[in-house]
Every structure is written in structure tokens, then in C-alpha cells.
Amino acid sequence: MTIIASTLKPILVTGAAGFIGANICNALLGRHKAVVGVDNMNDYYDTGLKHHRLSQLQQSSMFQFRQIDLADSVAVNTLFTEHEFELVIHLAAQAGVRYSIENPNAYVQSNLLGFQHILEQCRVQQPAHLVFASSSSVYGNSRRAEFRETDPTDDPVSLYAATKKSNEVVGHSYAKLYGIPMTGLRFFTVYGPAGRPDMAYFSFTKAILAGEPIRVFNHGNLERDFTYIDDIVNGVLGVADLPPTELDIPHRILNLGNNQPISLTHFIATLESLLGREAVKEYIGMQPGDVIKTCANIDAAKALAGYTPSTSIEWGLARFVDWYLDYYGH
């Protein structure tokens, strides 16, 4: 079965104005696929950046955009009534660890209720594959050298992580009950041009250029499996074309990371070198809900879809810095 090659039905991408969603849409359009993009355009971060991403997608006649809040069951039902989707890539979610402590209701509405409404429509329509975004945050403060999909994930350290774990469990039940082919993808710290302003690489760049201090959590003793956006896009689309075929429970969870954790100190030093300025560093303790290290074991995604990330942190951050300087006119 070649899902992405199909031209008979459109592909639904939720969170289409978001960082990963917009890049997925762009890649699909580059393959001449019809795409229906959905986003609620909330103001969690600068909506101007979301409109910037959308404006590029809307240059294609193969792209349709619908501003919909997935927590609105009537709107989601109407969407699925108007279109029969071959593939559903569900990326819409309220992101951010710290914000889940400040505004938990936003996570309940988007990550839980919104996902439930997508599942219900997939139960009715039965697309060939539902691919949805999970997160490396489900592993909590694991002390393992690498995080494997079979590791325990029953000790989330934030509400955000708990909602993503819930998505995996509820998705499993729908796959079992209704035979919906489903894949959950645990993303590991995705970065790149036009990324999310609440992410460290983005806020650090802004602060360094302004000569303002950056907050270095846990006194710099953190490691992240930074994964460049192009590698993530290749992984998502590679997996999307290969729905699980198990007859009992067509459901799987896969890591999509870089398998090359980078220390926070090296990460900052790389940014300083690219920007030609030294950061003013404010060393502080751990932030609530954060984890010390992430590292993805990607053997399963590699075996299934040939997923092989190849972007170094130096090259990836250079592409981001180039975009940032151009976009903000520095």
C-alpha cells in the first residue's frame, strides 16, 4: 500500500500552521499531494510566525486551510463530512512543559479532547493510517543511556507529558476496538528555521543578539537529543506510508530523534560561535517538569522506514541562525 502516492483523496494535517506541521505540509505539497491543513491559530506564541508559515503553503493550489479548534466536536465532524481523508497526520497540540503548569486547561482541551475528536472521526471514516505526535517527555527522568519504545513511561513529570502518554494509551484502545491503523511518534527536541519561539535555541538567539542574559537551567548540566526538522519530516513521511498491519492491534509507537544527545554547554557555545557574540549566562537550578537528558534509540524507525537522521547540530543551528537574521532583519 502506497498511501502518500495516492492522488484520490486529500491528506489531513492538523497543526498545519505549527513548526512541524507546516514543514510536513510543505513536503507533501512538494510531492504534489492534496493537503487539507487545520489549525486553531492560538496565541501561545506570536501568531505572525504562524501566518508566515501559512502564507508559504497557501501559494499552492493543492493546499486548503481551515481554522478549526479540534476541541469543537461539531467543527471536526463537519471537516470529516466534507472530506474523505486517505491519511491523517495529527500534530495539533498545546505544546510546552512550563506552560502546562500555568494553564492546564489548555492541554486538556487540545491534547485530550481534541485528540479524542480526531479518533472518533477516524473510527467512522477509517483512513488508511492515523499518524499522531507524541513526545520524548513521556519517558520522564529516565536514567537509561537510550530511550527505547519498550521502556516504562508511567512516571510523567509534567501535565504535558501526561497528556501525550494518554494519547498513546487511548489510541491503543481505538486501534484494538476498531482496527484503525495507527502510529504514535515520540519526537525529540525538534529545531530549525521558523521554529517555535518558546524553544531554547530560539529564545537564546534573541537574547544573545540583544545582549540580554540567558537562563541556563540545572547550571548547564542538561543534554538533549536535538533533531533537525528535515530529519523529522523524512521520518514522519517514511512511517506514514507504512501503516501497521497487525490484525489484533494495528498500533505502534516509534521514536524519532537524532540519537546524538548534545550538552547544553556545547549547544550554547555553538550558537555563540554562529552569532559572533558571547552569551550573558545566568546559571539556575532545574525548572519544574523538565528532564535532565533525552536520547532516542531509533532502531525501530530505521528498520521499518530507513529512518537515518544525518544533520549535525552545527549545520542545523547555522540554518536556523541564517533564517532568524533574515526574518528579523538583524
Mention every residue, 6+ apart, whose C-beta is less than 8 A from residue 100.
94, 106, 107, 158, 159, 160, 163, 289
Q: Report if residue 59 sits inside a domain.
A: yes
Q: If 0-12 CB within 10 Å is exposed, 13-18 middle and 19+ buried, where does residue 25 land?
A: buried
Assign residue 160 the CATH number of its domain.
3.40.50.720
Q: How many domains does the chain have?
A: 1
Q: If 0-12 CB within 10 Å is exposed, 13-18 middle and 19+ buried, where does residue 32 land?
A: exposed
pTM: 0.94
Query: Cell 513536503, residue?
Result: 27
pLDDT reported for residue 293: 84
Q: Report if residue 206 sits inside a domain.
A: no
pLDDT reported for residue 5: 46
Q: Report if residue 74 sits inside a domain.
A: yes
Q: Report if residue 70 sits inside a domain.
A: yes
Q: How many other β-carbons are positioned within 10 Å of the β-carbon of residue 104?
A: 15
139 among known catalytic residues: no
pLDDT reported for residue 59: 97
Q: Report if residue 327 sits inside a domain.
A: no
185, 133 Cβ separation under 8 angstroms:
yes
Name the percent of the chain in helix, strand, coil, to the closest 5.
45, 15, 40
Q: Report if residue 127 sits inside a domain.
A: yes
* Domain interval for residue 303: 11-188+229-257+296-309
| Helix residue ranges, H only, 14-158 | 19-30, 47-57, 73-82, 98-102, 104-107, 115-125
Q: Which of 139, 160, 307, 324 is catalytic?
A: 160
The C-alpha atoms of residue 270 and residue 152 are separated, in whole angstroms, by 33
pLDDT in tens, the chain (330 residues): 445 544 479 999 999 999 999 999 999 999 999 999 999 999 999 999 999 999 999 999 999 999 999 999 999 999 999 999 999 999 999 988 777 888 899 999 999 999 999 999 999 999 999 999 999 999 988 888 899 999 999 998 889 999 999 999 999 999 999 999 999 999 999 999 999 999 999 999 999 999 999 999 888 888 999 999 999 999 999 999 999 998 889 999 999 999 999 999 999 999 999 999 999 999 888 877 677 888 999 999 999 999 999 999 999 999 999 999 999 987
Q: Report if residue 223 sits inside a domain.
A: no
